[in-house]
Structure 1
Protein backbone atom coordinates (compact mmCIF):
# COMPACT_ATOMS: atom_id res chain seq x y z
CA UNK A 1 0.00 0.00 0.00
CA UNK A 2 1.28 3.41 -0.90
CA UNK A 3 1.57 6.21 1.62
CA UNK A 4 -1.11 8.99 1.08
CA UNK A 5 1.53 11.76 0.88
CA UNK A 6 3.72 9.94 -1.68
CA UNK A 7 1.99 11.57 -4.66
CA UNK A 8 2.12 15.07 -3.21
CA UNK A 9 -0.57 14.65 -0.61
CA UNK A 10 -4.27 14.36 -0.72
CA UNK A 11 -5.85 16.36 -3.51
CA UNK A 12 -8.16 19.22 -2.72
CA UNK A 13 -11.18 19.52 -4.88
CA UNK A 14 -11.95 22.93 -6.24
CA UNK A 15 -15.48 24.15 -5.63
CA UNK A 16 -17.52 23.99 -8.80
CA UNK A 17 -18.64 27.67 -8.58
CA UNK A 18 -15.11 29.01 -9.29
CA UNK A 19 -14.51 27.22 -12.58
CA UNK A 20 -13.49 29.68 -15.32
CA UNK A 21 -13.19 32.71 -13.03
CA UNK A 22 -9.55 33.25 -14.09
CA UNK A 23 -10.69 33.48 -17.69
CA UNK A 24 -13.22 36.18 -16.82
CA UNK A 25 -10.57 38.16 -14.94
CA UNK A 26 -8.19 37.91 -17.89
CA UNK A 27 -10.88 38.98 -20.34
CA UNK A 28 -11.55 42.07 -18.23
CA UNK A 29 -8.00 43.01 -17.24
CA UNK A 30 -6.07 42.53 -20.49
CA UNK A 31 -8.02 45.13 -22.52
CA UNK A 32 -7.88 47.56 -19.61
CA UNK A 33 -4.11 47.12 -19.30
CA UNK A 34 -3.62 47.51 -23.07
CA UNK A 35 -5.70 50.71 -23.00
CA UNK A 36 -3.73 52.08 -20.02
CA UNK A 37 -0.46 51.27 -21.81
CA UNK A 38 -1.77 53.04 -24.91
CA UNK A 39 -2.56 56.14 -22.84
CA UNK A 40 0.94 56.20 -21.40
CA UNK A 41 2.79 55.52 -24.66
CA UNK A 42 0.69 57.69 -26.97
CA UNK A 43 0.27 60.39 -24.32
CA UNK A 44 4.04 60.64 -23.99
CA UNK A 45 4.43 60.79 -27.75
CA UNK A 46 1.80 63.56 -27.97
CA UNK A 47 3.70 65.59 -25.38
CA UNK A 48 6.91 65.11 -27.38
CA UNK A 49 5.16 66.31 -30.58
CA UNK A 50 3.85 69.38 -28.71
CA UNK A 51 7.38 70.18 -27.46
CA UNK A 52 8.69 69.81 -31.01
CA UNK A 53 6.00 72.20 -32.28
CA UNK A 54 6.98 74.76 -29.61
CA UNK A 55 10.64 74.50 -30.63
CA UNK A 56 9.85 74.84 -34.32
CA UNK A 57 7.60 77.86 -33.72
CA UNK A 58 10.27 79.55 -31.58
CA UNK A 59 13.00 79.10 -34.16
CA UNK A 60 10.72 80.16 -37.03
CA UNK A 61 9.75 83.31 -35.09
CA UNK A 62 13.43 84.16 -34.73
CA UNK A 63 13.91 83.61 -38.47
CA UNK A 64 10.93 85.87 -39.20
CA UNK A 65 12.11 88.70 -36.93
CA UNK A 66 15.44 88.62 -38.76
CA UNK A 67 13.55 90.22 -41.66
CA UNK A 68 13.24 93.47 -39.69
CA UNK A 69 14.98 96.57 -41.03
CA UNK A 70 17.91 96.52 -38.59
CA UNK A 71 19.66 99.56 -40.02
CA UNK A 72 16.53 101.65 -39.53
CA UNK A 73 16.07 100.17 -36.07
CA UNK A 74 19.62 100.96 -35.00
CA UNK A 75 19.64 104.40 -36.59
CA UNK A 76 16.42 105.75 -35.12
CA UNK A 77 16.17 103.66 -31.97
CA UNK A 78 12.56 103.02 -32.89
CA UNK A 79 10.97 99.82 -34.03
CA UNK A 80 10.48 99.46 -37.74
CA UNK A 81 7.64 97.17 -38.74
CA UNK A 82 8.55 93.84 -40.20
CA UNK A 83 7.32 93.35 -43.75
CA UNK A 84 4.47 90.84 -43.36
CA UNK A 85 5.24 88.94 -46.56
CA UNK A 86 8.95 88.66 -45.79
CA UNK A 87 8.30 87.53 -42.21
CA UNK A 88 5.80 84.87 -43.22
CA UNK A 89 8.02 83.66 -46.01
CA UNK A 90 11.08 83.44 -43.76
CA UNK A 91 9.20 81.62 -40.99
CA UNK A 92 7.48 79.11 -43.23
CA UNK A 93 10.64 78.52 -45.27
CA UNK A 94 12.57 77.74 -42.09
CA UNK A 95 9.87 75.31 -40.95
CA UNK A 96 9.61 73.59 -44.33
CA UNK A 97 13.37 73.04 -44.35
CA UNK A 98 13.31 71.42 -40.90
CA UNK A 99 9.92 69.68 -40.89
CA UNK A 100 8.33 69.52 -44.36
CA UNK A 101 5.04 68.01 -43.13
CA UNK A 102 4.34 70.88 -40.69
CA UNK A 103 1.83 73.65 -41.37
CA UNK A 104 2.88 77.23 -40.69
CA UNK A 105 1.20 80.59 -40.17
CA UNK A 106 3.04 83.81 -39.37
CA UNK A 107 1.57 87.20 -38.49
CA UNK A 108 3.17 90.51 -37.73
CA UNK A 109 1.95 92.84 -35.01
CA UNK A 110 2.76 96.42 -34.10
CA UNK A 111 6.10 97.26 -32.51
CA UNK A 112 7.92 94.76 -34.73
CA UNK A 113 6.51 91.64 -33.02
CA UNK A 114 6.08 88.43 -35.03
CA UNK A 115 3.92 85.46 -34.05
CA UNK A 116 4.36 82.05 -35.65
CA UNK A 117 1.96 79.12 -35.25
CA UNK A 118 3.10 75.61 -36.18
CA UNK A 119 0.73 72.67 -36.56
CA UNK A 120 1.99 69.08 -36.56
CA UNK A 121 0.01 65.90 -37.13
CA UNK A 122 0.12 63.29 -34.37
CA UNK A 123 -0.75 59.69 -35.20
CA UNK A 124 -1.29 57.45 -32.14
CA UNK A 125 0.25 53.99 -32.32
CA UNK A 126 -1.48 51.88 -29.68
CA UNK A 127 -4.67 53.89 -29.37
CA UNK A 128 -4.82 54.05 -33.16
CA UNK A 129 -5.63 50.34 -33.13
CA UNK A 130 -8.60 51.18 -30.87
CA UNK A 131 -9.95 53.69 -33.39
CA UNK A 132 -8.40 56.92 -32.11
CA UNK A 133 -7.48 58.91 -35.21
CA UNK A 134 -4.75 61.41 -35.92
CA UNK A 135 -4.79 64.77 -34.15
CA UNK A 136 -3.45 68.19 -35.07
CA UNK A 137 -1.18 69.64 -32.39
CA UNK A 138 -0.40 73.37 -32.59
CA UNK A 139 1.99 75.67 -30.81
CA UNK A 140 2.70 79.38 -31.15
CA UNK A 141 5.70 81.53 -30.34
CA UNK A 142 6.44 85.22 -30.59
CA UNK A 143 9.63 87.10 -31.25
CA UNK A 144 10.43 90.78 -30.98
CA UNK A 145 13.55 92.84 -31.41
CA UNK A 146 15.62 92.48 -28.26
CA UNK A 147 17.78 95.25 -26.90
CA UNK A 148 20.24 94.23 -24.22
CA UNK A 149 19.85 91.10 -22.15
CA UNK A 150 16.16 90.25 -22.58
CA UNK A 151 14.12 87.22 -23.43
CA UNK A 152 13.56 87.25 -27.19
CA UNK A 153 11.00 84.46 -27.64
CA UNK A 154 7.94 83.74 -25.51
CA UNK A 155 5.89 80.59 -25.87
CA UNK A 156 2.49 80.17 -24.21
Structure 2
Protein backbone atom coordinates (compact mmCIF):
# COMPACT_ATOMS: atom_id res chain seq x y z
CA UNK A 1 0.00 0.00 0.00
CA UNK A 2 1.41 3.37 -0.97
CA UNK A 3 1.93 6.21 1.47
CA UNK A 4 -0.91 8.15 -0.23
CA UNK A 5 -3.24 5.16 0.15
CA UNK A 6 -2.31 4.85 3.83
CA UNK A 7 -3.02 8.54 4.39
CA UNK A 8 -6.32 8.24 2.53
CA UNK A 9 -7.32 5.25 4.68
CA UNK A 10 -6.46 7.17 7.84
CA UNK A 11 -8.43 10.21 6.68
CA UNK A 12 -11.47 8.10 5.74
CA UNK A 13 -11.27 6.29 9.09
CA UNK A 14 -11.12 9.56 11.03
CA UNK A 15 -14.05 11.05 9.10
CA UNK A 16 -16.12 7.92 9.65
CA UNK A 17 -15.38 7.95 13.37
CA UNK A 18 -16.17 11.67 13.67
CA UNK A 19 -19.48 11.06 11.89
CA UNK A 20 -20.22 8.05 14.12
CA UNK A 21 -19.47 10.15 17.20
CA UNK A 22 -21.99 12.76 16.08
CA UNK A 23 -24.56 10.08 15.27
CA UNK A 24 -24.09 8.35 18.62
CA UNK A 25 -24.34 11.65 20.49
CA UNK A 26 -27.57 12.55 18.67
CA UNK A 27 -29.23 9.18 19.28
CA UNK A 28 -28.00 9.18 22.90
CA UNK A 29 -29.56 12.61 23.47
CA UNK A 30 -32.88 11.31 22.13
CA UNK A 31 -32.73 8.20 24.33
CA UNK A 32 -31.68 10.08 27.47
CA UNK A 33 -34.08 13.03 27.25
CA UNK A 34 -37.26 11.23 28.44
CA UNK A 35 -35.31 10.08 31.53
CA UNK A 36 -34.36 13.68 32.34
CA UNK A 37 -30.73 13.13 31.38
CA UNK A 38 -28.39 14.37 28.70
CA UNK A 39 -26.13 12.03 26.74
CA UNK A 40 -23.15 13.27 28.78
CA UNK A 41 -24.93 12.68 32.09
CA UNK A 42 -25.91 9.19 30.94
CA UNK A 43 -22.30 8.46 29.93
CA UNK A 44 -20.92 9.47 33.30
CA UNK A 45 -23.64 7.65 35.25
CA UNK A 46 -23.10 4.59 33.07
CA UNK A 47 -19.40 4.60 33.88
CA UNK A 48 -20.10 4.35 37.64
CA UNK A 49 -23.02 1.89 37.59
CA UNK A 50 -20.77 -1.16 38.09
CA UNK A 51 -18.71 0.51 40.82
CA UNK A 52 -17.91 4.00 42.11
CA UNK A 53 -14.93 5.62 40.41
CA UNK A 54 -12.87 8.79 40.89
CA UNK A 55 -13.41 11.49 38.28
CA UNK A 56 -9.98 10.77 36.78
CA UNK A 57 -10.93 7.09 36.35
CA UNK A 58 -14.17 8.02 34.60
CA UNK A 59 -12.26 10.36 32.29
CA UNK A 60 -9.80 7.58 31.42
CA UNK A 61 -12.61 5.11 30.62
CA UNK A 62 -14.47 7.68 28.51
CA UNK A 63 -11.39 9.14 26.82
CA UNK A 64 -12.22 12.73 27.74
CA UNK A 65 -10.68 15.32 30.03
CA UNK A 66 -10.94 15.12 33.79
CA UNK A 67 -12.29 18.69 33.84
CA UNK A 68 -15.21 17.74 31.57
CA UNK A 69 -16.10 14.81 33.79
CA UNK A 70 -15.73 16.94 36.94
CA UNK A 71 -18.24 19.48 35.59
CA UNK A 72 -20.76 16.74 34.74
CA UNK A 73 -20.18 14.91 38.04
CA UNK A 74 -20.85 18.10 39.99
CA UNK A 75 -24.10 18.61 38.04
CA UNK A 76 -25.18 15.02 38.69
CA UNK A 77 -24.51 15.48 42.42
CA UNK A 78 -26.43 18.78 42.44
CA UNK A 79 -29.38 17.03 40.75
CA UNK A 80 -29.32 14.17 43.28
CA UNK A 81 -28.44 11.60 40.61
CA UNK A 82 -24.99 10.83 42.02
CA UNK A 83 -23.06 11.35 45.23
CA UNK A 84 -19.42 11.66 46.22
CA UNK A 85 -18.14 8.96 48.56
CA UNK A 86 -14.87 8.64 50.44
CA UNK A 87 -12.10 6.93 48.51
CA UNK A 88 -10.09 4.55 50.70
CA UNK A 89 -7.23 4.63 48.15
CA UNK A 90 -6.96 8.42 47.96
CA UNK A 91 -8.16 10.89 50.57
CA UNK A 92 -8.68 13.85 48.20
CA UNK A 93 -10.02 12.04 45.09
CA UNK A 94 -13.59 11.18 46.08
CA UNK A 95 -15.49 8.40 44.33
CA UNK A 96 -18.57 9.19 42.27
CA UNK A 97 -21.46 6.77 42.79
CA UNK A 98 -24.99 6.78 41.37
CA UNK A 99 -27.81 7.40 43.80
CA UNK A 100 -31.00 5.32 43.64
CA UNK A 101 -32.50 8.20 41.64
CA UNK A 102 -29.58 8.06 39.18
CA UNK A 103 -29.96 4.31 38.76
CA UNK A 104 -33.70 4.75 38.19
CA UNK A 105 -33.07 7.39 35.53
CA UNK A 106 -30.71 5.07 33.66
CA UNK A 107 -33.24 2.21 33.93
CA UNK A 108 -35.82 4.45 32.19
CA UNK A 109 -33.50 4.52 29.18
CA UNK A 110 -33.24 0.72 28.99
CA UNK A 111 -36.27 0.03 26.74
CA UNK A 112 -35.14 2.50 24.07
CA UNK A 113 -31.55 1.33 24.42
CA UNK A 114 -32.60 -2.30 23.96
CA UNK A 115 -34.68 -1.42 20.90
CA UNK A 116 -31.78 0.51 19.34
CA UNK A 117 -29.41 -2.42 20.01
CA UNK A 118 -31.84 -4.84 18.33
CA UNK A 119 -32.25 -2.55 15.33
CA UNK A 120 -28.50 -2.06 15.05
CA UNK A 121 -27.96 -5.82 15.13
CA UNK A 122 -30.48 -6.28 12.31
CA UNK A 123 -28.94 -3.46 10.23
CA UNK A 124 -25.46 -4.94 10.61
CA UNK A 125 -26.64 -8.40 9.56
CA UNK A 126 -26.81 -10.29 12.83
CA UNK A 127 -25.10 -10.71 16.16
CA UNK A 128 -21.85 -12.06 14.70
CA UNK A 129 -21.48 -9.01 12.44
CA UNK A 130 -22.34 -6.70 15.35
CA UNK A 131 -19.69 -8.39 17.53
CA UNK A 132 -17.10 -8.08 14.75
CA UNK A 133 -17.90 -4.36 14.38
CA UNK A 134 -17.26 -3.89 18.09
CA UNK A 135 -13.98 -5.85 17.90
CA UNK A 136 -12.73 -3.70 15.00
CA UNK A 137 -13.59 -0.45 16.81
CA UNK A 138 -11.91 -1.68 20.00
CA UNK A 139 -8.83 -2.71 17.98
CA UNK A 140 -8.71 0.74 16.41
CA UNK A 141 -8.89 2.33 19.87
CA UNK A 142 -6.08 0.11 21.19
CA UNK A 143 -3.95 0.99 18.16
CA UNK A 144 -4.40 4.71 18.82
CA UNK A 145 -3.61 4.16 22.51
CA UNK A 146 -0.35 2.43 21.52
CA UNK A 147 0.55 5.21 19.08
CA UNK A 148 -0.14 7.87 21.72
CA UNK A 149 1.92 5.96 24.30
CA UNK A 150 4.88 6.04 21.91
CA UNK A 151 4.47 9.73 21.06
CA UNK A 152 7.00 12.15 22.53
CA UNK A 153 5.66 14.19 25.43
Task: Indicate the TM-score class for this superposition, using the shorter chain for normalisation.
Answer: 0.3 to 0.5
Larger Rg: 1
Greater relative contact order (CA < 8 Å, ≥ 6 in sequence):
1
The alignment's TM-score, normalised by the length of structure 2, stands at 0.35
From the two aligned structures, give the one with the greater strand fraction. Answer: 1
The alignment's TM-score, normalised by the length of structure 1, stands at 0.35
From the two aligned structures, give the one with the greater helix fraction. Answer: 2
